[in-house]
Structure 1
Amino acid sequence: MWTSTQYRRVVKGSAWYDLIVTAAFATPWSFALLHGALSGLSQALDLPGELPVFEPMHMLMANLLGSIVCVWAVLRIRDPQQVFGRYDAVGRFLFATWQLYALLHGASSLLVVFLIFELAWSVVQVLPVRMPSRASPLPQGTV
């Protein structure tokens, strides 16, 4: 169970993770570099699954994803509200579902690393948050 302050740190931490991981998806130029690096890594490790060449529509989808996730991350960094953490957890469970679907249909097994992080951030953001006590202590000297 998290305290409210701890939970805000979790929300902010997940947002920083998102910003760092998805910033390269936000533009065609940065994504081309990232795609090349991931392709090279996948080949060097001889991983199963495919990391296909991206056509313009694929690139558009990657850039839209990167752009909106970066905006969502900055919002949570600036204002890590509990409700944002709960919505983020739902989004991450959805992302994890589609990542698993892609893996089962031949996507590069590099995706497993991202799937693990999505599930981990999902779980920590659905854990309960302890509400602060509304009872105020009695002033000293009163019985």
Structure 2
Amino acid sequence: MFRTVTPSHPAYPRFVRASAWYDLAVTAGFATPWTYRLLHSALSRFGEAVGAGALPALDPIEILYANLMGSVVVVWALLRLVRPLPAHGLYDGLARTLFALWQAYALAHGAPSWLWLFLVAEVAFGVVQLAPWRLVRGGVSAPPSAGS
């Protein structure tokens, strides 16, 4: 029998932490110009090897946006590892919905097909973190204060 997990269930923070570990593993390489160059090269080689296509050549603005995204996601992942609160799972699920939308948009406009791997992960973690909130009646309550 399927057991319902609500955001207040003790297992929910494990989902929040798991998504944070995934984010840290996948986005740490985007956080600096040096690591992004290495990651870009590896992803291009992978795409060529599997016939999914290489990434376009790097330019300074692309590097900047990759570094901004990587830095924010790494900090967000660290917060969720240290404090995996139910509200963090809710907001992470919402952010994953946006990421999935933009990844689908990129795929529809010619992005390399290996992006599907990341899209599937975004949707899976989004569903795992958002679905339990459907069970919460009366909307989302404010998180407890630090002194509680």
TM-score, normalization: structure 2? 0.84
Distance in structure 1 (CA, Å) of the matches to 2:49 and 2:21:
28
List structure 1 segments (4+ residues) > 4 angstroms apart after TM superposition.
none
Mapped pair 1:120 → 2:127:
no
Gaps of 5+ in 2: 137-148
Aligned mate of 2:14, from 9, 14, 22: 9
Mapped pair 1:85 → 2:89:
yes
Paired letter, 2:120: I
Q: Which residue of 2 aligns with 1:109?
A: 113
Question: Superposed, which structure 2 residues align to 1:4-43 within 5 Å?
Answer: 4-43=9-48
Q: Which residue of 1 aligns with 2:75?
A: 71
- The superposition leaves residues 50-88 of structure 1 with CA deviations (integer Å, 9 ceiling, x where unpaired) of 511120000000000000000000000000000010000
Secondary structure of the corresponding residue to residue 11 of structure 2: helix
Q: Which residue of 2 aligns with 1:137?
A: none
- Specify which structure has the bigger relative contact order, considering alpha-carbon pairs within 8 angstroms and separated by 6 or more residues: 1
Larger radius of gyration: 1
Give the root-mean-square deviation of aligned CA atoms: 1.4
- The superposition leaves residues 76-124 of structure 1 with CA deviations (integer Å, 9 ceiling, x where unpaired) of 0000000010000000000000000000001111110000000000000
Gaps of 5+ in 1: 132-143
- The superposition leaves residues 18-60 of structure 1 with CA deviations (integer Å, 9 ceiling, x where unpaired) of 0110000000111110110110011111115x51112000000
Distance in structure 2 (CA, Å) of the matches to 1:128 and 1:58:
36
Secondary structure of the corresponding residue to residue 127 of structure 1: helix
Distance in structure 1 (CA, Å) of the matches to 2:132 and 2:45:
41
Alignment size in residue pairs: 130
Distance in structure 1 (CA, Å) of the matches to 2:132 and 2:72:
27
Secondary structure of the corresponding residue to residue 10 of structure 2: helix
